[in-house]
Chains A and B, each alone.
Chain A
Amino acid sequence: MGNDAVEIAINTIKLVVCFLLIVQAVPVLVWLERRGSAFIQNRFGPNRIGPLGLMQLLADAVKFLHKEEFAPAKAVKFLYYAAPVVALVPATLAFAAIPLGAPVHWDQYVFPLQGYEVSVGIVFVLAVSSLAAYAILLAGWGSGNKYALLGALRASAQVISYELALGLAIVGIIMTYGTFNFGEMIHAQEGPLHFSFMGHELVLGFLPNWGIFYQPLGALIFFAASFAESNRLPFDLAEGEAELVAGFHVEYGGFKMLLFFIGEYGHMIVASALMATFFFGGYGLGFMTLAELSASVATVVQDPNIVSLVTSLITFAVFSVKLAVFLWIFIHVRWTLPRFRYDQLMDLGWKTMLPWALFNTILTATLIYVGHL
């Protein structure tokens, strides 16, 4: 975590800030969802509390804190209370591994703008995301309600089925960049778009070198599978409000349910961040490499520490914009598409996405192999 006290302190604060970023993004996302859905459905959303209804979720959180808190008689108390707390952990661990901006070079320290830097980045993120099935199962079993148990089994079966498609869609992008590390992937996406095939080069100067142009099918499969991973519509039969009341969290009320929602929005944020990192250049600006950006900032500011800090802030802002775009797409899709039936959902995961992801892998491997002959 660092060699001396300053580094350890700053790294610790960075970790806590990464977690609090998720917790603080949830009220903003919920506001966006409620106002956005109202806009789509041609009605007003919350607009009474605070300007534009921005204080609505603060009021909701305070209300949740004061609700009566009890466990059903047939619940297994330890698992019932542990499940919402466990639901927070995978999303946080995954989000802390993703770089949010360029590293800050301050004196002799280098602080990457992420909780911790992982050399096997994507394998680590997949590993901790696969632990998300436990929170669902614990909630379903711990509620002592057979409908919650059925909902939990269905939700976890859905999550693990789409984890396959998710893992396989990424193989193409790993082949293209030849690394698991997020920082290296973002670095490889700088500059203008250039393809090289069998010795011929094609440079398209007006487009950035982003992953979406190399792996369009992989991006589509990854994005669709991440909808299923975070139990969002159109894949949210597990918590479908009109059908199953609330699926695996039917017996949870008050603040425990809010913790589940922080976990769900956390998974959405991680999926959007991964989408931006793999396919849209991460924190890089499309039309300027990091070195050029640094140089242009250095013409305004003299101190190299401040130059590095300002560059990092600019890249962080760019990343946040990309994140916001994908989160808006998540919300837009939720209120636009109808929900899948459960057997349609499982068929889609096993019989459509998995074969297409395999096809994408074979195609990418063939193109890379032939292109280097």
Chain B
Amino acid sequence: MPAALPVGLPLGGVIFIAIFVLCFGAALLLLASQLGTRKADPVKYESYECGIPVQEKKDTKISVKFYLTAILFILFDIEIIFMYPWASNFQEFIRTGQGGLVFGSMMIFIAVFIFGLFWEVKSKALEWD
């Protein structure tokens, strides 16, 4: 591990507060469960369905659009992630004279992105009805 780096993210603090929040929430839930009454009633434990008895169908199909949305999200998220180092160093690149190359390469990348988005909209892949 290189020893000369300034600490850019105090990991101890992040882990501490994450564990603290989890314990705080768990403690509150435990407190709430101890303080409440406890009266068993079979109706209480049924799943909520706006007051009617539960109608269990054997196979409820769920739309495949959730899968499509998630995959397209991953793809476009990766493209956006690539824009971050570009954006944070853009002015620096211009100062060192490579602005044209960097600007051009990212514009080609964004063109591919726009083409992908345009194609995906036109092919009605995400029409929610």
Contact = CB atoms under 8 A, between A and B. Distances in A.
- In the complex they form, do A and B come into direct contact, defined as C-beta atoms under 8 angstroms apart? yes
A116 B31 CA distance: 30
B73 A118 contact: no
Given A69-B36, A361-B110, A92 B17 contact: yes
Nearest to B57: A146
A333 interface: no
A369 B103 contact: yes
Interface string A145-170: 11111100100010011011001100
Most chain A Cβ neighbours within 10 Å, of B10, B89, B100: B10
Contacts of A369: 90, 94, 99-100, 103
B48 A147 contact: yes
Contact of A164 (B6, B60, B80): B80
A254 B33 CA distance: 10
Interface string B1-19: 0000010111011101110
B80 A116 contact: no
A68 B39 contact: yes
Given A68-B36, A96-B17, A167-B80, A365 B29 contact: no
Given A164-B73, A245-B50, A354-B117, A72 B29 contact: no
- Measured as residues with beta carbon below 8 angstroms from the partner, the interface class of chain B is 35 or more
A66 B45 CA distance: 19
A286 interface: no
Interface string A328-370: 0000000000000011001100110011001001100100110
Interface in A13-45: 15-16, 18-19
A351 B121 contact: yes
Contacts of B106: 365
Contacts of B36: 65-69, 254
A69 B25 CA distance: 15
A171 interface: yes
Nearest to A250: B48
Interface stretch (A80-88, A197-205, A206-214, A225-233): A80-88
Contact of B37 (A68, A251, A362): A68
Nearest to B128: A343
Contacts of B119: none
Most chain B Cβ neighbours within 10 Å, of A118, A123, A171, A350: A350
Contact of A157 (B44, B46, B69): B69
A273 to B, nearest CB: 16
Nearest to B73: A160
A85 B110 contact: no
Given A15-B20, A92-B18, A167-B80, 13 more contacts: A1-B10, A12-B16, A66-B36, A67-B36, A72-B48, A73-B45, A85-B25, A88-B25, A115-B13, A115-B17, A342-B128, A361-B87, A368-B94
10 contacts: A161-B69, A178-B91, A180-B84, A256-B29, A343-B128, A346-B126, A347-B128, A355-B114, A355-B117, A369-B94
Interface of A: 1, 11-12, 15-16, 18-19, 64-74, 81, 84-86, 88-89, 92-93, 96, 115-120, 123-124, 143-150, 153, 157, 160-161, 163-164, 167-168, 171-172, 174-175, 178-180, 245, 250-251, 254-256, 259, 342-343, 346-347, 350-351, 354-355, 358, 361-362, 365, 368-369, 372
Interface of B: 6, 8-10, 12-14, 16-18, 20-22, 24-26, 28-29, 31-33, 35-39, 44-50, 60, 62, 65-66, 69-70, 73, 76-77, 80-81, 83-84, 87-92, 94-95, 99-100, 103, 106-107, 110, 113-114, 117, 121, 126-129
